[in-house]
Every structure is written in structure tokens, then in C-alpha cells.
Amino acid sequence: MRRASRTVAFVSGVIATSCTAIGVAADATNGELSIEETQARLTSQVTRESQVAAGDLRMIEASPQTWTDSSLGCPGRRRTLGTSSVPGYRFVLDAGGKRRTYHADTRGRIVRCDAPSKPLDPIAR
């Protein structure tokens, strides 16, 4: 019995740590962020991390997207929550002359995802 309680505490700690580390926060009414709220968080995050002034950021695209899994469509990202559909958004912005692509879910997780997956060439026989 003691072993089970330690496991629950450990799992709870990991979940809390993960949420804090990635800054997940959602609207208290339905648990989802709108595209506008997510865009505002992204703009704030990019200005902090890249030291590009907010006035030098230009949103090129902001669109709703349904991702096929928790990797949010980013190649090389580990799937963490299975393979169910994940509602979210795709943002493309210009930050000081550099184009950056970000994918987000409606819970507030935002990841930079600049490189689209490239299909492999067929194997020659």
C-alpha cells in the first residue's frame, strides 16, 4: 500500500512540474485558450526569448489546426499523450527578419516547429 501512494505522489509531481515548466494555463470556464489568447502568449514568449521588440514581430499566419497526436505535428518531437486528435493552432511569424513557425494546443502548450517533416526517398532495389 505504501508503494502505491509513493507512485501517485511521484506521478502528481511530474504532472505539476511539466505544467509549470511549459507554462500551461487555460481559461477557467472551459479549459481551452482561444486563438487570440494563445497568440498573445506566443508574442510575449518570443519577445522574451529572442529579445526582439514586440513592434518588430509580424504575424504572418494564425490558423486553427487539429494535430494528429501530442507531438503537435512537429517532426522529431516525442509523443507524450497518445495518438488522439489534439485541437490547436499554427502560427507563422516574422521575428526581426527571421520566419518562425509555432504549433500550439488549446491548453496553452506552444512549441517551435520550423522544420516540416521531409519524406524519405524511396529505397532503390
Q: What is the pLDDT of residue 1?
A: 45
Contact in structure between 99 and 92 (CB atoms under 8 Å): yes
Q: Which secondary-structure segment (H or E) carries 61?
A: strand 57-67
Which one-letter DSSP state was computed for residue 67?
A: E
The structure's pTM equals 0.65
Q: What is the pLDDT of residue 51?
A: 85
Map out the domains of the chain as residue ranges. Answer: 2-112
**pLDDT value for 100:** 93
**Apex CA 60: angle with CA 108 and CA 90, to 5°?**
35
Burial state string for 55-84 with b = 16 or more CB within 10 A and e = fewer than 16: eebeeeebeebebeebbbbbeeeeeeeeee
pLDDT 10s per residue in the chain (125 long)? 444 433 333 322 322 222 222 334 444 456 899 999 999 999 999 999 888 888 899 999 999 999 998 889 887 766 565 568 999 999 999 988 889 999 999 999 999 997 554 444 556 55
